Structure 1
C-alpha cells in the first residue's frame, strides 16, 4: 500500500513548542526541528543563536494529506503564535524566531497567501509572517528533537 506524504515547514518562534503542537495533530506522520532560510550550510544551534546566520528555527512536518489538509496545518500555525511580532515570540527575540511559512509547492504558496487574510481578521496589528519558498532544511542537534516530549512537558509557553 502506497502512502502519499507531503512536507510543510513552519517557523513560529522557539521550535520546541511548535514541534509539540504539530506532533499532536492527527495525520501528522513525523516532525523534525531545524534551521532554514539562512546563509550558512549545516549551522549549529550556537551559530543560529548569534542571529547572524539568517536561519529561522523551524519545524518540518511530514503529513498525510488524506488525513490532514495543508489548510488545517496553516490554521494550527496561525493559532499557536503571534504573527504580528517581528522577529520575536514571547521572551525570545532575534530573526531566528521570526514567523514564516516555507512553501514546498505552488499550491502551498497559494494556500498560505490566502490564509493570511483570514488570520488577519483575528489580529489588530498587521501580520508580519514571511511566505517564502522552502530552501535547505538543516536538522537541529538530536537533543532538540521532541525536546518537550522527552522531558514530559506539554508546552514551553509562558
Structure 2
C-alpha cells in the first residue's frame, strides 16, 4: 500500500451521533465498573494497539488495572460504530486507520512517562536490529465506547480471533516505587 493512510478530516468524517452507545455497567471479567465515576485516585490511559480485543485482554490481566473498556479516540466522529470507523490501513487481518498505534496521555506526567518508556524500549529494539517505534503520542481527547459486544470480547468469546503478536521484546521499565527508593 503506497504511503501512510490519512485519517479523514473533520469535513470528511461521518456525523456519528450525540447519544453514547450502550455498554454494560459491570466489567464481564473483574465485575468492576465500566462507566465513571471510577474510584478516587484511579488514573486513566488510552492505548491504540491494533486489535482492541487482544489489547484489552492483555490489560485486564495486569495487576492494578481496575477496569478496561474498548472504544475509539482520536477521530472526529462522535460515538461511532465499528462499521463507521473502518477505513484502509492494515495490521495482519485487521484493516483501517483505527488500527494505528497511539498512546493518548492525560497530562504532562503521563506524557513524560510515555516518552521515557518509548526511549527505553527503542534502545531494546535497536539491540535486536528492529525498526523505529511508530507509535504516535497525543494528548487525550474524547473516548467513545465501542458496542457492548466488543467489550471483554475474548472473555465472552474464548475462541475469538486476535492476531496481536507483539515483538517478543520486553520493555525494561522499573516500577515507580523502585525509582523512588
TM-score normalised per structure 2: 0.62
- SS of residue in 2 equivalent to 1:116: helix
Deviation at 1:4, TM superposition (A): 1.5
Q: For the residues of structure 1 that align with 2:124 and 2:102, how far apart are their CA atoms?
A: 18
Residue 27 (str. 1) matches residue 33 (str. 2): no
Deviation at 1:90, TM superposition (A): 2.6
Contact 2:101/2:135 (8 A) holds in 1: yes
Q: For the residues of structure 1 that align with 2:142 and 2:40, how far apart are their CA atoms?
A: 24
Stretches of structure 1 that go unaligned for 5 or more consecutive residues are 52-86
Give a deviation string over 1:82-120, Cα, whole Å, max 9, x none.
xxxxx5433323311011000011100001111111111
Q: For the residues of structure 2 that align with 1:25 and 1:155, how far apart are their CA atoms?
A: 21
Q: Equivalent residue for 1:105?
A: 107
Residue 39 (str. 1) matches residue 45 (str. 2): no
Deviation at 1:50, TM superposition (A): 3.2
- SS of residue in 1 equivalent to 2:134: coil
Stretches of structure 2 that go unaligned for 5 or more consecutive residues are 1-38, 165-181
Q: Which has the larger share of strand?
A: 1
Report the aligned-residue RMSD.
1.9
Q: Equivalent residue for 2:119?
A: 117
Deviation at 1:10, TM superposition (A): 0.3
Q: Among residues 129, 133, 156, which one is paired with 1:127 in the alignment? A: 133
Q: Equivalent residue for 1:149?
A: 155
Q: Equivalent residue for 2:143?
A: 137
TM-score normalised per structure 1: 0.71
Contact 1:36/1:138 (8 A) holds in 2: yes
Q: For the residues of structure 2 that align with 1:88 and 1:99, how far apart are their CA atoms?
A: 11
Larger mean Cα displacement after TM superposition, 146-155 or 129-138: 146-155
Pick the structure with greater CA Rg.
Answer: 2
Question: How many residues in Structure 1 have an aligned counterpart in Structure 2?
Answer: 122
Residue 50 (str. 1) matches residue 87 (str. 2): yes
CA shift in 2, pair 1:88/1:125, >3 Å: farther
